[in-house]
Amino acid sequence: MSSNQRFFLLITLLPFTILSFFSSTSLAVDFCVADLNGYQTPSGYVCKNPANVTADDFVFSGLITGANTSNINKAAATPATVQQFPGLNGLNLAAARADFAPGGAIPLHTHPYSSEMIYVVEGSVTAGFVSGITSNKVYVKKLKKGEIMVFPQGLVHFQANTGSENAVVFATFGNADPGVQMINAALFGNDFSSFLVEKTTNIDQAEVRKLKKLLGGSG
C-alpha cells in the first residue's frame, strides 16, 4: 500500500473510529476478537464479525509444548499475545511459555506496554529485574517450582536456568500486546553502526563486532 493509499484509508476510517469510540460508552460488547487483517489502533485491532466468532477463537493450543531450546540461549519463549491468540484483543491479558535447558536463559529484555508475572511449573529459575529508578538496583531471586514473581512494566528483566534439569515457566501479561525489546538484539542484532554502539555503550568496537557476528547484526 502506498503512503497516499494509507493516508486515504486513515481519512476514510477516522470518522468511523471516532463513532465507534463514542458508541462504545453506551453499547457494551462482550468481546472483540481481533481481525488481524484489519487495522490496529492504540486500544487494539478492529473486531472480527461477531457472527463468525466461535469457541475456538477463545482457545489457544500453542503453549501445550514449548519451542526448541537448541539455540544460542538454550532457552525459547513461545508467545500467546493477540497476534497468535486473537481472542485476547481488548482484554488486557496475554500469556507466554518459556522453556530452558540447563544453563539456558532468556536474555535481558523489556515489555514496554505491560507488567509481567511468571509462574515456575517445572525445575527452577533465577529471575530478576533492574529498577528504573536512578539506583539501577537489581532484584534477583532463585525461584522454585510453584513460585511466582512479578516484573513491573517496562523494566529490564531476565530468567536463567541455574539448575541442573530443564525448567518451564508460564508468564502472564496485563496487555494483549505487551511488546518486547531484547537488549542484545537492539544493540547487536541489527545494522546499528558498530561505531555508534561503541560510543553509546562504552563497549569496545572489537567486542561489538564480535557480538554482532554472533547475533546476526551488521555495520
Task: Give the footprint of ligand NAG on this chain (CB under 6 A).
Answer: 49, 51-52, 68, 70
Nearer to ligand NAG, 53 or 203 (CB): 53
Query: Rg for the chain (alpha carbons), in Å?
Result: 20
Minimum Å distance from CB 150 to ligand NAG?
31
Minimum Å distance from CB 100 to ligand NAG?
14
Minimum Å distance from CB 57 to ligand NAG?
12
**Cα–Cα nearest to 169, from 119, 129, 128:** 119
Nearer to ligand NAG, 37 or 61 (CB): 37
Give the cell for residue 183. Answer: 537488549
2 Cβ partners below 8 Å, 6+ apart? none
Chain CA centroid to CA 177, Å: 7
**Cα–Cα nearest to 163, from 114, 132, 122:** 122
Minimum Å distance from CB 17 to ligand NAG?
21
Cβ-count burial 68-89 (b if 16+ within 10 Å, e if not): ebeeebbbbbbbbbbebbbbbb
Q: Does 207 appear as a known binding residue?
A: no
Q: Does 111 appear as a known binding residue?
A: yes
What DSSP character marks residue 47? B
Nearer to ligand NAG, 5 or 70 (CB): 70
Nearer to ligand NAG, 93 or 106 (CB): 106
Binding annotation = 109, 111, 116, 157
Binding annotation for Mn(2+) = 109, 111, 116, 157
Binding annotation for oxalate = 111, 116
